[in-house]
Amino acid sequence: MLATVAAEFAYWQTSIFKLLMAFVAVLIPAGGTVYLYLFKMVSFLQSRLGPMEAGPYGSLQLVAEVGKWAQKEDVVPSRADAFVFKAAPYVVLISTFLLVIVVPFGPDAVFADFDTGIFLALAVSSISVIGILMAGWASASKYSLLGGLRAAGQLIAYELPMVLAVVGVVIQAGTLNMQGIVEAQTTGEIFGWGALGHPFILTQFVGFFIFLIAVQAELAQTPFDMPVAESELVTGYMTEYSGFRFLLFFIGEFATANIFAFLASVLFLGGWSVPPFIMDAVPGLAPQVDGLAAALGGTTGVAEASFSPWFNLIGPVVMAVKMLALTFIVYWVRFTYPRFREDQLQSFAWKVLIPISLVNIAVTGVLKVVF
């Protein structure tokens, strides 16, 4: 029913809708997690109330903050490289928006269903490093340059375990396509018992933990916040930024945290789908035999079962719940642990995470062949 409605829109109409939805998918979760976790959760962890004045229970604090930033003067240091300085926050934001287009929120609710979905996501996530290096260099400040270089070194080091952690999931799912990974987890069975499907966190828990650690480091969140260590580098590459451009970095940081959480929920927690026993219990959710199967199979080439079109509405909610659970871990760790030293940080990536993830790949490959 929903599928037929969707089919009546022209290509340009769906394109405009997708463009608007990309902004929704980036900005709403970012605002939500900043309020829920950065303002409120950390306050409760530290036995205080957090913002209470703006709006009921401080819920409009973020609007006030954005207004504050938007009206600040846009300062460019006099010796800075003005164009590169101004462009850098947008490069970081472009990386965020390119990341969100591969995330599926439902059987049809996907911005672009790339054949190489997760591979493309890992590729574009590294574009933000370029923005950070640009910001660090163009600011013409020692703090900024050091922060940018530290960020680049750290992001290169932790990108590798992240990619390697995903390889295990890709081996198990047998596809790089995000929809294919969701489907493999929904239709999968654990020793012939299919009620729960087969969320890859059960078999790829090593990969899951490595992925979460690497995400924490990619986002330069504590304990991996050496690039923006305020006690020695002010705020690293962001030191010279003010007003709206600082806000762009801020949005980029928190939106990317959410999108990595979305990616992790697709890879390890079953994505927008729900376990089959819920699907069987709720009328109308049970997989259909044909109709949508042809449509889905035509686009991904891997789809065998077909999902109820209601998942286009349920999917985003399921994804939001999983995303909130995962970002909770990110901020919980962020506000709990002290900072790694630079050398500990590098050796942790190269000497601990990468060997473990390589072993994980080897074991997964052997088990995939055996079973």
Partner 1 sequence: MIHLLAQEASPGAMSDTGIWISNIFFYVIAAVAVVAALKLVTTANVVHAALYLLVVLSAVAATYVILGAEFAAATQVLVYLGAIMVLLLFGVMLTRARIGADSDLDHEQRWIGGLVAAGLGAVMVYSLWEGFGSDKLPADMQPQRTQMVSDEIFSTYIVPFEALSVLLLAALIGAVVVARRD
**Which residues contact partner 1 (rule: CB under 8 A)?**
79-81, 84, 114-116, 119-120, 122-127, 129-130, 133-134, 136-138, 140, 145, 148-149, 152-153, 155-156, 159, 176, 301
Closest distance of CB 119 from partner 1, Å: 5
Nearer to partner 1, 163 or 251 (CB): 163
Nearer to partner 1, 125 or 360 (CB): 125
Q: What is the 3-state secondary structure (H, E, C) of the chain?
A: CHHHHHHCCCHHHHHHHHHHHHHHHHHHHHHHHHHHHHHHHHHHHCCCCCCCCCCHHHCCHHHHHHHHHHCCCCCCCCCCCHHHHHHHHHHHHHHHHHHHCCCECCCCCECCCCCCHHHHHHHHHCHHHHHHHHHHHHCCCHHHHHHHHHHHHHHHHHHHHHHHHHHHHHHHHCCCCHHHHHHHHHHCCECCECCCCCCCCCCCHHHHHHHHHHHHHHCCCCCCCHHHCHHHHCCHHHCCCCHHHHHHHHHHHHHHHHHHHHHHHHHHCCCCCCCHHHHHHCCCCCCECCCHHHHHHHHHCCCCCECCCCHHHHHHHHHHHHHHHHHHHHHHHHCCCCCCCHHHHHHHHHHHHHHHHHHHHHHHHHHHHHC
CB 190 within 8 A of CB 202: yes
Nearer to partner 1, 130 or 324 (CB): 130
Closest distance of CB 290 from partner 1, Å: 21
Closest distance of CB 127 from partner 1, Å: 6
Nearer to partner 1, 136 or 271 (CB): 136
Closest distance of CB 77 from partner 1, Å: 10
CB 207 within 8 A of CB 360: yes
Nearer to partner 1, 63 or 75 (CB): 75
Closest distance of CB 336 from partner 1, Å: 30
As a whole number of angstroms, the distance between CA 18 and CA 97 comes to 12
Closest distance of CB 88 from partner 1, Å: 10
Nearer to partner 1, 133 or 259 (CB): 133
As a whole number of angstroms, the distance between CA 239 and CA 218 comes to 19
Closest distance of CB 219 from partner 1, Å: 16
Nearer to partner 1, 66 or 115 (CB): 115
Nearer to partner 1, 34 or 98 (CB): 98
Closest distance of CB 81 from partner 1, Å: 5
Nearer to partner 1, 123 or 202 (CB): 123
Closest distance of CB 31 from partner 1, Å: 28
